[in-house]
Amino acid sequence: MSKWERWLLPGILAAVGVPFLIAGGVIRVVLPQTIAGHAQEVARLRVATIDTLNERGARVLLEGRVSDRTAPSDRPPLVAYKEYQRVRRDGEWAWDQVRSYTPTLWVEIPGGTVEIMAEYSLRSTASKVEDGRDGQGPVTDHRVYEGFQAEDPILVLGTLTVAGDSPVVGAAQIGFETKADYLMSLDREQFTARWLGLLFLILGSLLTLGAGATVYLTWHRGLTIFGSR
């Protein structure tokens, strides 16, 4: 057996195992800390009213409803949405996000109305519209639109860019949840990250130890991996 053949199997095991170890460390240690820091920030924020939106540049948390001032989209009754298309991948059907439609949004909160600048992110959604359910045309024409319509409850986390009588919030994340629900979801994300990171660390350790054991057996006991010498 040639020299490169001796190193092939341990090299493959190490090449797979080391990235798993690195990813596991990041997922188990760094990611939960990042989520925990965000959760602490959200926990500290009080749910705002119109009267408390007076510090430009401050992070704010809004609980309210989508105002009927927001114009309907091209997929009524939705006013903002994420579009998904059905695609075939690895022999199975799945949903791929095609685009997001996130125009200026108006939200009713205690005391008045707040403008949410366009290009916000939709964390979770309340309403759905489907196309292509009549069986006509290719299956790949089937699309789903998940978003918000007027009067849907909404949670907004963002930065107050304009204070005063007509407040504006930018760089926003929007979800179909309350503050308490959001904090609970962040706790679940931390739990999931810790266990997923642990799984990666275990797999990476086994693969890396396997690489070391293969090298030891090959060179110190004369064991061949790909046949007799």
Type of residue numbered 74: D
The CATH number covering residue 94 comes to: 2.40.50
Q: Residue 157: inside a domain, yes or no?
A: yes
Q: Give the pair of three-digit tokens for residue 7.
A: 């190193």
80 pLDDT higher than 50 = yes
Q: Residue 226: inside a domain, yes or no?
A: no
pLDDT in tens, 84-129: 998 888 888 888 999 999 999 999 999 999 999 999 999 999 999 9
User: Is 70 in contact with 150 (CB distance < 8 Å)?
Assistant: yes
**DSSP string of 90-122?**
TTEEEEEEEEEE---EEEEETTEEEEE-SS-EE
Q: Could you list the residue range(s) of the whole structural domain that residue 74 is in?
A: 51-177
pLDDT in tens, 40-77: 999 999 999 999 999 999 999 999 999 999 999 999 99
pLDDT in tens, 138-164: 555 689 999 999 999 999 999 999 998
- Where is 18: in which H helix or E strand? helix 3-25
User: Is 145 in contact with 82 (CB distance < 8 Å)?
Assistant: yes
Q: Residue 218: inside a domain, yes or no?
A: no
pLDDT in tens, 169-209: 999 999 999 999 999 998 999 999 999 999 999 998 888 88
Q: Residue 1: inside a domain, yes or no?
A: no
Q: pLDDT confidence of 226, banded at 50, 70, 90?
A: very low
Q: Residue 228: inside a domain, yes or no?
A: no
Q: Residue 138: inside a domain, yes or no?
A: yes
Report the number of distinct structural domains present in the chain.
1
pLDDT of residue 114: 97
Q: Residue 89: inside a domain, yes or no?
A: yes
Q: Residue 155: inside a domain, yes or no?
A: yes
Task: Give backbone dihedrals phi and psi of 184, rounded to 5 degrees, phi first.
Answer: -65, -40
* Of 1 and 83, more confident: 83
